Amino acid sequence: MKVDRLVLGDFETNCYVLRNSDTARDCLIIDTGLDAGSLLDFLELNKLNPAALILTHGHADHIGGVEPLRKKFPTIAVYIHKLDAPMLTSAIRNLSVLSGAFLTAKKADNLVEEGDVIDIIQIKLRVIHTPGHTPGGICLYSEKDSIIFVGDTLFAGSVGRTDFPNGDMKQLLEGIKHKLLTLPEDTIAYPGHGPETTIGREKADNPFLS
Return per-residue pLDDT of the chain as tens, 210 residues: 999 999 998 889 999 999 999 999 999 999 998 888 899 999 999 999 999 999 999 999 999 999 999 999 999 999 999 999 999 999 999 988 877 778 899 999 999 999 999 999 999 999 999 999 999 999 999 999 999 999 999 999 999 999 998 999 999 999 999 999 999 999 999 999 999 999 999 999 999 998
The rounded distance, in Å, linking the Cα atoms of 137 and 199 is 18
At 91, the amino acid letter reads A
Q: Closest Cα to residue 112, out of 102, 120, 101, 104?
A: 120
Give the pLDDT confidence score for residue 123 in this predicted structure. 97
Give the pLDDT confidence score for residue 101 in this predicted structure. 77
Give the pLDDT confidence score for residue 11 in this predicted structure. 86
Q: What is the dihedral of CA 9, 48, 191, 63, to 10 degrees?
A: 50
Q: Which domains does the chain have, with CATH numbers?
A: 2-209 (3.60.15.10)
Give the pLDDT confidence score for residue 10 in this predicted structure. 83
Alpha helix ranges (H) inside 79-168 = 85-88
Give the pLDDT confidence score for residue 103 in this predicted structure. 87
Give the pLDDT confidence score for residue 67 in this predicted structure. 95
At 93, the amino acid letter reads R
Beta strands in the chain (DSSP E): 2-8, 13-19, 26-30, 49-54, 77-81, 110-112, 117-120, 123-129, 138-142, 147-151, 154-155, 158-159, 188-191, 197-198
